[in-house]
Amino acid sequence: MSLLSPEIMLRRLDQPDLRICDVRWWLVDPARGRREYEAGHLPGAVFVDVDSDLVAPDGPGRHPLPDPVAFARRMAELGIDDDSHVVAYDDAGGAVAARRWWMLEDLGHRDVAVLDGGFSAWVAAGGPVTTVASSYPPGRLTLRGHWTRVIDRAGLVPRLMADDLVLVDARAPERYRGDVEPIDPVAGHVPGAVSVPFSGNLGPDGRLLPADALRARFEAFGSSVAVSCGSGINACHDALAMRVAGLPDPLLYPGSYSDWSRSRMPVATGDDPGRYRPTDA
């Protein structure tokens, strides 16, 4: 199960194998997540720092994937093992928690989910909140030693030129168009990328849309899809939506637009996806 409702989660709080991960994080204020955790979190939750626990110190883009062995070691330190039921939550409709889900899932963990609607939905459903930090004995975690559903810039370029892959951009429409760019050096999008903002996966209550509505958003792209965003975080929300919709899992471009734009690659602006061609390079 990739998605768990707060109502079901309430009934499972006492399960000894449950490991709840608070991954709240804000792009313009990364330290806010820790402050929010200390102010109140789900009982039993451990804090997972996006910038230190889910990201490599360096690599392509702003949030490169870490070494899988180092990642598994860190997750085991937090008390996660092969038999844990892992649930990740944020306060952004799952846009950050989905990265946590994607990473564990891609490396072979059998039981990891995102809390639908995150912290806000939990509180709205009457879920308890605590300021008591939790800790667990180290777990025994056996994961794959390599990422599987990924594509880098070198692999992406020829597929864009051949038009045999659809690149989905999960960023907000204004960033896709190039109207604004708060953090990367050049505004716009990868030529050929299609705008599918992760926010469109959510209903007014901040929870994921029903599977049929999500399927309608993504099924026209076919079975050869890669998801991207600014730095490979929010892109995982589109991957989660495709999973819930029952569609084939996409590839993840971890470096995403931050890798593309910082590598002096051609950039498109406006609502039109544009096309990537050899003469653009």
What are the catalytic residues? 229
Angle CA(32)–CA(255)–CA(95) in degrees, nearest 5? 40
Place of tokens 């996006």: 50
Distance, in Å, from the CA atom of 35 to the CA atom of 196, rounded to the nearest integer, reads: 31
Neighbours of 73 (CB within 10 A): 14
Q: Is 17 exposed, middle or buried (0-12, 13-18, 19+ CB in 10 A)?
A: exposed
- Residue-wise burial string across 128-162, b where 16 or more C-beta atoms lie within 10 A, e elsewhere: eeeeeebeeeebebebeeebeebbebeebbebbee
Answer yes or no: are the C-beta atoms of 95 and 237 closer than 8 Å.
Answer: yes
Gyration radius of the chain over CA positions:
18
Distance, in Å, from the CA atom of 172 to the CA atom of 218, rounded to the nearest integer, reads: 17
Distance, in Å, from the CA atom of 157 to the CA atom of 216, rounded to the nearest integer, reads: 27
Read off the DSSP letter of residue 230: S
Place of tokens 């910038």: 51
How distant, in Å, are the alpha carbons of 64, 127, 137, 262, 274 from that of 258? 10, 37, 37, 6, 18
